Amino acid sequence: MKHLIDPTDLTKEEIDQIVALAEDIIAHRERYQGSMAHKKLATLFYEPSTRTRLSFTAAMMELGGNVLGFSNPQNSSVSKGETVQDTVRVVGCFADIIAMRHPIEGAPLVASEVSRVPIINAGDGSHSHPTQTLTDLLTIKRELGHIDGITIGFCGDLRFGRTVHSLIKALSRYKDIKVVLIAPDELRLPDYIKQDVCDKMGVAYRETDSLDDAIPELDVLYMTRVQKERFLDEDEFDRVKDSFVLDARRMALAKEKMAVLHPLPRVNEILTEVDDDPRAAYFRQVENGKLVRMALIISLMEWKNDPAHGMPEHDAPILNPALHCTNPKCICNNEKHESRFRLAENGITRCWYCDSKVR
Ligand code: NCD
């Protein structure tokens, strides 16, 4: 069964196929209108969302399908203590495909292990957000005409920003990508992305705390919101919340063709004076999110039982009772799941569910 839990669950060819299908949907919208007739998408949102949930809903509706689900787990059996796995076993009896957002990292992964229908991770904690990645790739393709060869700057909260982690993973499969990481010390990109993705895949990156210095060389500037809800320490959030602001003065330093992306919602990191700049692509990006989710739903439903589109093979997990994941937001510390680990780059052992370093 093909699920989308992490961007690396898709091969580069599958990503390109989904992006190409989205472009075909743009060109021939009418051809796809009834393609999901009598099919149902369940949206299980355990965490707030406007864009992602509504864009999944709109995507399924445009394909002629139906949508059910919840956006507030307090109104579901979750509030009675039901596990994620039991919930998807039940929902799989009603729906043909499930999109799940969860504040706990690894929740969509454990869901996929028991589900009889495809699971799409619509964001798990600070960990992954692969459908935003597809949105971002389609946006880069439409704005610049190509993905290979770009220099992309990620600015703001690179530590908790799951959209950043997922997009870097996907871009590492493209040619000649250069990454500039623009963040204060407290919000730097986690080591596992630097080591297991950039170093391993040969992605050139550099770190800076100056947006002014970085902006002139960028083809894409990916702005992010400081993720208030992920901080365990409120003082730390207050210290970094206004770290980087994109304004007209800074836009004047950028290339004429640079594209500004932001997964939204923005708080104050892009001033509204930038919105009318033709390089501001973030509202076009929202529309692309719906189109690419239409393409993803069609693809996963087609690939569901096709052995040519299975899940990637991984080494067997390490089961060592002496090791413990210390991430309080990992599924293994919130529900009863076997502790599992994997050996990553540089001899580091990481949690199977959330990628935290355990040794
Ligand atoms: C992002 C998310 O939820 O991670 N938003 C989104 O999906 N459009 C980014 C954010 O919340 O800042």
SS (H, E, C) 194-236: HHHHHHHHCCEEEEECCHHHHHHHCCEEEECCCCHHHCCCHHH
pLDDT of residue 286: 97
Confidence of residue 121 (pLDDT cuts 50, 70, 90): very high
- For the chain, the C-alpha Rg in angstroms (whole number) is 20
Question: Which H or E element spans position 55?
Answer: helix 51-62
Confidence of residue 356 (pLDDT cuts 50, 70, 90): very high
pLDDT over 80 at 77, yes or no? no
**What is the 284 CA–ligand 1 centroid distance (Å)?**
16
pLDDT of residue 251: 98
Verify whether ligand 1 is closer than 6 Å to residue 132 (CB atom).
Answer: yes
Verify whether ligand 1 is closer than 6 Å to residue 101 (CB atom).
Answer: no
Kind of pairing between the strands at 341-343 and 349-351: antiparallel
Is-contact 274 280, C-beta < 8 A?
yes
Nearest CA to ligand 1 atom 1: 263
Find out whether the peptide bond into 265 is cis, omega within 30 degrees of 0.
Answer: yes
Estimate to the nearest angstrom the gap between the alpha carbon of 182 and the chain centroid.
19
Residue 333 to residues 248, 325, 328: CA-CA distances in angstroms? 45, 8, 6
pLDDT of residue 240: 82
pLDDT of residue 72: 85
**What is the 163 CA–ligand 1 centroid distance (Å)?**
7
Q: In what order do the strands lie in the sheet with 204-208?
A: 204-208, 178-182, 151-155, 220-223, 259-261
**What is the 132 CA–ligand 1 centroid distance (Å)?**
8
